[in-house]
C-alpha cells in the first residue's frame, strides 16, 4: 500500500517544464554540473574531444578495430540522450494523444525513446553496449535532477519513487522487446500497458503509436554507424496524426 501511494504521488505531480521546441532550455545534471542545454558541455565530452577527432582513431573505428574508450562511449551516450530533448516533442503526447501532463508521463515517453535507441545500439557489439550503458546512465541522471525540481520531498522518499521508475522501466523493456519481435497486436498491448497505463483510449491513438514505433525502429536500423558514434545524430519520425 505504501509503495502504491508513493507511486501515485509521483504520477500526479504536473511536469513543470515546457516542451515546445525553441522555447525550452532543458537542464541535465552530470557529476554535479547543471547548465542549460544550449551551453551544456559534459566533462566526458571535453575529455574525449582530442582523442575522438584523431584521424587514426576514426580510421580504426571505420574498419572495425578497437573498442571505444570509456570517455568516448559516455560522450556518445550522453549526446544521444541530449538529442531527445531536441527531436521528441512531448506536447504531442500530452495534448493530442491525451496523456496526463505529469512527471510520470514525461518519464514513460522518454523511456520509450531510450528503449528504441537501445535496440539499435545493441546491434553494434561491445561499442554499442558501452554507449547503451551511458545512454541509460544519462536518463537516470536526468530523472534525478528533474525529480528534485518538481516538489519538496525527503531524499529517502524520492529514492523510493525513483526505484519504482527503475522497476517499471525494466519491465517495459521486456514488454517492448516482445512486441517488437512479435506482431502489431503484441506491440499494441505493450504500448497500452506501459505508455497508456491501461486507461480508456481512442483506438486510433494506439494504431498511431504502433506505427510510430515501427517507423522509428526502421529509421534507426538504417542509420549508419558513423552517424551514431561519430556524429552523435539520429533522425526521428514525427507522430502522424
What would the grid cell of residue 78 be? 550522453
- The pTM for the full model equals 0.75
* Per-residue pLDDT at 15: 46
* Residue 78 exposed, middle or buried by CB count within 10 Å (0-12, 13-18, 19+): buried
Check pLDDT > 60 for residue 61.
no
**Are the C-beta atoms of 197 and 191 separated by less than 8 Å?**
no
**Alpha-carbon distance 189 to 83, whole Å?**
28
In tens, the pLDDT along 129-157 reads 999 999 999 999 999 888 888 766 777 78
Task: Give the mean pLDDT of 98-127.
Answer: 93
DSSP symbol at 93: I
In tens, the pLDDT along 155-213 reads 778 888 888 999 999 999 999 999 999 999 999 999 999 998 867 778 899 999 999 99
**Are the C-beta atoms of 112 and 180 separated by less than 8 Å?**
no
Long-range contacts of 205-208, Cβ-Cβ distance < 8 Å, separation of 24 or more: 205/97, 205/98, 208/97, 208/239, 208/240, 208/241
What would the grid cell of residue 230 be? 561519430
**Are the C-beta atoms of 99 and 105 separated by less than 8 Å?**
yes
Check pLDDT > 60 for residue 91.
yes
Amino acid at each position: 500500500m505504501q509503495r502504491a501511494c508513493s507511486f501515485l504521488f509521483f504520477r500526479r505531480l504536473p511536469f513543470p517544464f515546457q516542451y515546445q521546441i525553441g522555447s525550452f532550455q532543458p537542464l541535465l545534471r552530470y557529476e554535479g554540473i547543471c547548465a542549460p542545454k544550449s551551453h551544456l558541455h559534459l566533462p566526458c565530452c571535453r575529455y574525449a574531444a582530442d582523442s575522438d577527432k584523431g584521424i587514426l582513431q576514426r580510421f580504426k573505428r571505420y574498419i572495425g578495430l578497437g573498442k571505444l574508450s570509456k570517455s568516448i562511449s559516455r560522450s556518445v551516450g550522453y549526446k544521444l540522450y541530449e538529442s531527445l530533448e531536441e527531436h521528441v516533442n512531448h506536447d504531442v503526447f500530452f495534448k493530442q494523444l491525451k496523456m496526463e501532463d505529469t512527471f510520470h508521463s514525461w518519464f514513460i515517453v522518454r523511456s520509450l525513446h531510450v528503449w528504441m535507441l537501445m535496440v539499435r545500439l545493441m546491434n553494434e557489439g561491445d561499442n554499442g553496449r558501452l554507449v547503451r550503458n551511458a545512454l541509460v546512465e544519462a536518463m537516470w541522471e536526468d530523472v534525478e535532477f528533474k525529480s528534485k525540481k518538481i516538489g519538496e520531498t525527503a531524499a529517502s522518499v524520492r529514492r523510493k519513487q525513483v526505484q519504482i521508475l527503475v522497476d517499471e522501466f525494466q519491465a517495459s523493456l521486456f514488454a517492448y522487446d516482445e512486441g517488437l519481435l512479435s506482431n502489431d497486436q503484441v506491440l499494441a498491448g505493450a504500448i497500452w500497458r506501459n505508455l497508456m497505463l491501461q486507461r480508456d483510449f481512442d483506438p486510433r491513438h494506439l494504431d498511431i503509436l504502433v506505427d510510430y514505433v515501427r517507423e522509428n525502429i526502421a529509421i534507426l536500423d538504417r542509420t549508419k554507424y558513423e552517424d551514431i558514434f561519430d556524429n552523435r545524430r539520429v533522425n526521428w519520425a514525427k507522430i502522424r496524426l
